[in-house]
């Protein structure tokens, strides 16, 4: 089945009516044009102004009116410059009435004109109309170029329809005449990876190689990032080595994917090795990279190593952010180093970094683990006083803290408060309270709560 036979019909009567409403007015490409100096000067001026990117929407619309009044009509290229500017400046349907007026006045659209229209529909998430325009390109006997094909496939990928985009892409290749480039493949591979279709992305990559199209840094980076995200770091490293063997120099994004993937698996020595290799290549590490390493060491409880990375980061002139401080606070609290966590918290405020709710929750958890419930409760209330909306994790932390210290009444007081304020308890909330009731011998109350949870279909 040919591609144009598969294209959906337009919801309006026919887009062709927009393209050739007045056939008698369409200028023949061989028609002679009067060599008017003023005419050509206006057209040249408008082209240059549109290319400069310094005009506003009002200017672009005004230029269109000037062009449409010129006799003989200017070239289609001049109108394309104006239409392109209008599309960039408005991103709404302003381009459609201008396009209709062009056709009514006899300006014959070319591939660039139709690609502008295709861009508008795809950006507006009207991919159905985008298909109509693409079909019209084929009906007119025009050969779609990389821009037109890229707009259509990009529109599909932007809507999470990368698999459909690959099918359309294959049909375009089947009909012949179109040679895909690395940019087109990269867009599709990125679209597939973004919806979790890693295997399809790898399959397309191998097809790309079979078609003698070499991958670039962007494609390798996308695949490596997807593999490492799915904890397939070994395969990610294989692609990394393949990339380097082809003379492609990795960037901070590629190294960041490998370091992050290795840290998530606790393979910190290898992560540091890649980090050092990156620095050896003269590639500067960014804040994200340092935070990844710090988090990796903190998760493994390696406080001293994390501190060394932190000192190195500061020595490179990179200021820690909220994530850096929160990572340290979380690590210290889990290790029971509450005083040190307080010091980091104070330093965070001193550096004018605003603590997030996650920061507060981590510190509260540390205080509760240390049995410092009064301090934890004070911190909890200070969050509310600052206008920060606490969540179920905040309440669960405090309820768990009270329950472990046999303060059941205080725990249930918070339980009622969270329900009153519209914060829905979860399975952990109920598990904590039921367990606390059982520990103090209030088995009947625990069973009653369990029955309520069962009836509410909450999985404990």
Please write the tens of the pLDDT for every residue from 90-138: 877 889 999 999 989 999 999 999 999 999 999 999 999 999 999 999 9
Pair 149, 172: CB distance under 8 Å: yes
Q: Which two tokens stand for residue 187?
A: 């867009």
What share of residues in the chain are helix, strand, coil (percent, to 5)? 70, 0, 30
The pTM for the full model equals 0.75
Query: Among 110, 48, 61, which Cα is nearest to 87's?
Result: 61
Pair 90, 57: CB distance under 8 Å: yes
Q: How far apart are CA 37 and CA 70, in angstroms?
A: 12
Q: What is the pLDDT of residue 38?
A: 64
The structural domains of the chain, with segments of one domain joined by +, span: 1-24+38-142, 320-384, 391-460
**Angle CA 55–57–62, to nearest 5:** 85
User: What's CA 61's distance to the chain center, in Å?
Assistant: 33
Q: How far apart are CA 122 and CA 104, in angstroms?
A: 24
- Write phi, then psi, for 354 (nearest 5 degrees): -80, 120
Query: Among 10, 6, 190, which Cα is nearest to 117's?
Result: 10
Residue 266: other Cβ atoms inside 10 A: 12
Q: How far apart are CA 244 and CA 254, in angstroms?
A: 11
Instruction: Using DSSP, state whether 274 is helix, strand or coil.
Output: helix
Q: Which two tokens stand for residue 376?
A: 């934890």
DSSP state of 196: T
Q: How far apart are CA 214 and CA 212, in angstroms?
A: 6
Please write the tens of the pLDDT for every residue from 30-80: 334 444 446 678 888 888 888 888 889 888 899 889 889 888 888 899 999
Pair 456, 427: CB distance under 8 Å: no
Q: How far apart are CA 27 and CA 17, in angstroms?
A: 17
User: What's CA 291's distance to the chain center, in Å?
Assistant: 20
DSSP code string of 281-343: TTPPP-HHHHHHHHHHHHHTT-HHHHHHHHHHHHHTTPPP-HHHHHHHHHHHHHTT-HHHHHH
Residues of the chain short of pLDDT 50, as ranges, are: 1-37
């Amino acid at each position: 089945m040919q591609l144009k036979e598969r294209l959906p019909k337009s919801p309006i009567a026919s887009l062709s009516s927009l393209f050739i409403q007045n056939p008698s007015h369409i200028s023949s490409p061989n028609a002679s044009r009067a060599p008017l100096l003023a005419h050509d000067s206006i057209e040249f001026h408008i082209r240059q102004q549109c290319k400069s990117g310094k005009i506003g929407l009002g200017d672009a619309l005004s230029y269109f009116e000037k062009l449409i009044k010129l006799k003989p009509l200017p070239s289609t290229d001049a109108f394309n410059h104006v239409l392109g500017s209008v599309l960039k400046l408005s991103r709404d349907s302003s381009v459609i009435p201008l396009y209709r007026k062009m056709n009514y006045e006899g300006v014959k659209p070319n591939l660039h004109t139709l690609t502008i229209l295709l861009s508008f529909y795809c950006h507006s998430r009207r991919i159905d109309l985008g298909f109509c325009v693409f079909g019209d390109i084929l009906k007119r006997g025009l050969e779609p170029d990389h821009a037109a094909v890229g707009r259509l496939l990009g529109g599909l990928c932007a809507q999470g329809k990368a698999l459909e985009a690959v099918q359309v892409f294959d049909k375009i290749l089947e009909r012949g005449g179109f040679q895909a480039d690395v940019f087109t493949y990269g867009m599709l591979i990125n679209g597939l990876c973004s919806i979790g279709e890693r295997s399809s992305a790898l399959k397309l990559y191998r097809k790309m190689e079979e078609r003698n199209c070499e991958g670039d840094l962007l494609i390798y980076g996308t695949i490596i990032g997807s593999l490492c995200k799915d904890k397939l770091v070994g395969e990610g490293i294989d692609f990394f080595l393949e990339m380097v063997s082809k003379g492609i120099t990795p960037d901070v994004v590629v190294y960041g994917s490998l370091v992050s993937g290795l840290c998530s698996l606790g393979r910190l020595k290898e992560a540091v090795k890649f980090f050092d290799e990156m620095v050896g290549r003269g590639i500067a590490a960014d804040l994200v990279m340092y935070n990844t390493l710090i988090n990796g060491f903190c998760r493994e409880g390696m406080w001293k190593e994390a501190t060394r990375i932190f000192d190195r980061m500061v020595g490179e002139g990179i200021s820690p952010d909220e994530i850096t401080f929160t990572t340290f606070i979380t690590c210290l609290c889990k290790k029971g180093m509450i005083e040190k966590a307080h010091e980091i918290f104070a330093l965070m405020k001193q550096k004018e970094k605003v603590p997030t709710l996650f920061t507060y929750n981590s510190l509260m958890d540390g205080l509760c683990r240390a049995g410092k419930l009064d301090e934890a409760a004070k911190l909890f209330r200070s969050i509310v006083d600052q206008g920060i909306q606490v969540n179920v994790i905040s309440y669960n932390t405090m309820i768990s803290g009270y329950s472990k210290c046999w303060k059941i009444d205080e725990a249930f007081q918070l339980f009622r408060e969270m329900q009153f304020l519209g914060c829905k308890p979860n399975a952990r909330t109920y598990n904590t309270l039921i367990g606390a009731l059982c520990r103090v011998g209030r088995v009947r109350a625990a069973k009653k709560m369990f029955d309520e949870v069962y009836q509410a279909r909450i999985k404990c």
